[in-house]
C-alpha cells in the first residue's frame, strides 16, 4: 500500500483498531519503548492486541533508576516480552569518560540511541511509536505513517490529545512513571533531563528538542 493510502485507511480507526490492523497488514513489526511518562499507553494497547510481541528497550546506560523500576513494574504487570538493546560498549564508555552530553549532546544521542536503533530496525518493515499528539513543531509535520529510510514509522496515537491520554490512563488505572509526580513531564537520560512541563525539561539550554530517533520529514 502507498503511504497516502495507508494514512487514509488507518485515519478513521481508533488507536486500538490501528494496532490490530497493523499486525494484520505487516509481518515484521518493531515495537520499542523508552518506558517514559506516556509509555504505558502503547504498552497497555499492545498487551491487549498482541501480548507476546517483543518490546525493545534501548538501554543507554544513562537511564534513571526510576525508569528501570518502572520498566520492571510494567513488565511484570503485563508479562511483557522486553528485549534490551545496548550501544557499543567502547563508544558508550567513551561518552562517559568524556562527558560528551555536556558539549555534544547530538553525538551522545547518536552513539547511545540512534546507532543501536539503526542496527535493530534494519530487520523490520514498520516501527511503532508511542508518541502522543503533535507536541512540537517538528512533530506537527507527521502523519500516521511516515517514511524513515527503509522502514515505515507508525504513529497510532498521533491524534490523541493530552486530555485524552490522561483520561485513558485514569480509566485504565495505568501506573505512572515515578518521576512524573516529582515534576518531570518527560523522562530520558539522567544527564539531559530536568523537571518541567511536557518536553521543556529535555536538553534544557542545549538548543535541542529531540534525540534523533524520529525522522520528522512528512510523507
In the block, residue with C-alpha cell 560528551: 100
- The CATH number linked to 89 is 3.40.50.620
Q: What is the pLDDT of residues 159-189, one digit of tens each?
A: 898 899 999 999 999 999 999 999 999 999 9
Q: What is the pLDDT of residues 65-74, one digit of tens each?
A: 999 999 999 9
Range of the domain at 152: 3-192
Q: Is residue 218 part of a domain?
A: no
Instruction: Cite the beta strand spans of the chain per DSSP E.
Output: 29-31, 54-58, 81-85, 126-128, 145-148, 151-154
Q: Is residue 50 part of a domain?
A: yes
Q: Is residue 45 part of a domain?
A: yes
Q: Is residue 163 part of a domain?
A: yes
> In the predicted model, is pLDDT for residue 216 greater than 90?
no
pLDDT band of 206, cuts 50, 70, 90: confident
Q: Is residue 168 part of a domain?
A: yes
Q: Is 192 a catalytic residue?
A: no
> In the predicted model, is pLDDT for residue 150 greater than 90?
no
Q: Which of 109, 189, 192, 211 is catalytic?
A: 211
Q: What is the pLDDT of residues 32-72, one digit of tens each?
A: 999 999 999 999 999 999 999 999 999 999 999 999 999 99
Q: Is residue 205 part of a domain?
A: no
Number of domains present in the structure of the chain: 1
**pLDDT higher at 138 or 84:** 84
With H, G, I as helix, E, B as strand and everything else as coil, classify residue 32: strand
What's the CA angle centered on 25, arms 20 and 30, to 5 degrees? 75
- Predicted TM-score (pTM) of the model is 0.91
Q: What is the pLDDT of residue 140?
A: 56
Q: Is residue 176 part of a domain?
A: yes
Q: What is the pLDDT of residue 217?
A: 47
Q: Is residue 186 part of a domain?
A: yes
Amino acid at each position: 500500500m502507498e503511504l497516502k493510502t495507508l494514512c487514509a485507511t488507518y485515519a478513521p480507526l481508533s488507536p486500538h483498531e490501528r494496532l490490530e490492523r497493523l499486525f494484520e497488514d505487516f509481518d515484521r513489526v518493531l515495537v520499542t519503548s523508552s518506558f517514559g511518562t506516556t509509555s504505558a499507553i502503547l504498552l497497555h494497547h499492545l498487551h491487549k492486541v498482541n501480548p507476546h510481541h517483543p518490546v525493545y528497550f534501548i538501554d543507554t546506560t544513562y537511564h534513571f533508576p526510576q525508569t528501570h523500576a518502572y520498566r520492571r513494574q510494567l513488565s511484570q504487570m503485563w508479562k511483557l516480552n522486553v528485549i534490551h538493546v545496548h550501544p557499543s560498549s567502547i563508544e558508550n564508555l567513551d561518552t562517559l569518560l568524556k562527558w560528551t552530553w555536556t558539549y555534544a549532546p547530538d553525538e551522545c544521542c547518536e552513539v547511545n540511541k540512534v546507532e543501536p536503533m539503526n542496527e535493530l530496525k534494519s530487520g523490520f518493515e514498520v516501527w511503532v511509536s508511542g508518541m502522543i499528539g503533535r507536541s512540537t513543531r517538528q512533530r506537527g509535520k507527521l502523519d500516521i505513517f511516515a517514511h524513515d529510510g527503509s522502514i515505515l514509522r507508525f504513529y497510532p496515537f498521533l491524534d490523541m490529545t493530552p486530555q485524552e491520554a490522561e483520561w485513558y490512563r485514569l480509566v485504565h488505572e495505568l501506573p505512572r512513571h515515578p518521576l512524573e509526580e516529582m515534576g518531570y513531564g518527560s523522562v530520558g537520560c539522567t544527564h539531559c533531563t530536568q523537571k518541567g512541563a511536557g518536553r521543556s525539561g529535555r536538553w534544557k539550554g542545549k538548543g535541542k528538542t529531540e534525540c534523533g530517533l524520529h525522522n520528522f520529514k512528512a510523507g
